[in-house]
Amino acid sequence: MKKYIVLGILFILPITAYVFFAMSTNYFKPLPILTPSVAELDGFKTLEGKPVQLENRITVLGFFGSDLEAHRAYAYNLAQKIYSKNHEFNEFQFVILLPEGTESQAESIEQKLKQIAPTDAWFFAFGSDENINLVFQSLNSNLTLDSNESTPYVFIIDKERSLRGRKADDKEGAMYGFDSSNIAEINNKMSDDVKVLLAEYRRALKKYKSNREI
C-alpha cells in the first residue's frame, strides 16, 4: 500500500507543480501593447464643460458618433459587463468621444447609466469631427469609423497612452478593439483583458509600496 501511495505522489506532484506554474505565468503575463502614444484628448470637453485626458488614466475609449441612440444598447452592455465591476478602481475611466451637438442625446443615456452604476468615472466628451478622427487614427488599428464618426468597437488605453489588446487571438488574430454589440466578446474577452491590465497596475503599486518601505 505504501508503495502505491509513494508512486502516486511521485506521479501527481510534478503534474500539479507544472499546472500551478503554467497558470501563474499566464496570469501575470502583461496585456500586450499594440500601439504606443495614442493622441491625447486635447480640445474635448465633458457634459460639465471640463477637460478629459488619457495620460495617467486607465481608459476604455469609445467612438459612438452623431447618432448616439443607435449605440444606446452598446453603452448599456459596457456599463453592465465592464464599467459596473471596475469603476471604483482608482484612475479607471470610460470616455466616449462624440461630435459637438450631441449633448442632449448623451444626457438622456447618462440618466439610464446611473441606474446601473454611479457615472463618476464615465465621461461623454465632445469635440470636432477633425479631433475625433485624429484620436481614432492615432490608434493605428485595423478598424474604421463610419460616416457618423462611430464604431461599435471600444479600446483599452493604459496610463502611458498605449493601446492594449491581443496580438494573436485564437479566432480574430490581432484584436485592437472589442465589439460592444457582441455581449459574449465583452463579457469574456474584454472583461478578462481589463482584469489583466488592472492587475498589472495593482502589482506595480504593491511593488512600489514595498520598495518605499525598504
Q: What is the mean pLDDT of each run of 10 residues along the chain (214 residues)?
A: 55 50 52 96 97 97 94 94 94 97 95 95 97 98 95 97 90 90 94 94 67 47
Nearest C-alpha neighbor of 55 from the set 91, 23, 30, 25: 91
Determine the pLDDT at residue 18.
44
Instruction: Give yes or no for a contact between 67 and 104, defined as CB atoms under 8 angstroms apart.
Output: no
Determine the pLDDT at residue 118.
95
Rounded distance between C-alpha atoms, residue 27 and residue 190, angstroms: 15
Instruction: Give yes or no for a contact between 93 and 58, defined as CB atoms under 8 angstroms apart.
Output: yes
Q: Is 61 helix (H, G, I), strand (E, B) or coil?
A: strand
Task: Give 210's contacts (C-beta < 8 A, 6+ positions apart).
Answer: none
Determine the pLDDT at residue 36.
96
Grid cell locating 6: 509513494
Determine the pLDDT at residue 175.
94
Nearest C-alpha neighbor of 83 from the set 156, 167, 27, 143: 156
What structural domains does the chain harbor? 33-213 (3.40.30.10)
Instruction: Give yes or no for a contact between 112 and 79, defined as CB atoms under 8 angstroms apart.
Output: no
Determine the pLDDT at residue 206.
66
> Would the CA dihedral through 108, 113, 119, 121 be positive or negative?
negative
Determine the pLDDT at residue 145.
96
Determine the pLDDT at residue 173.
82
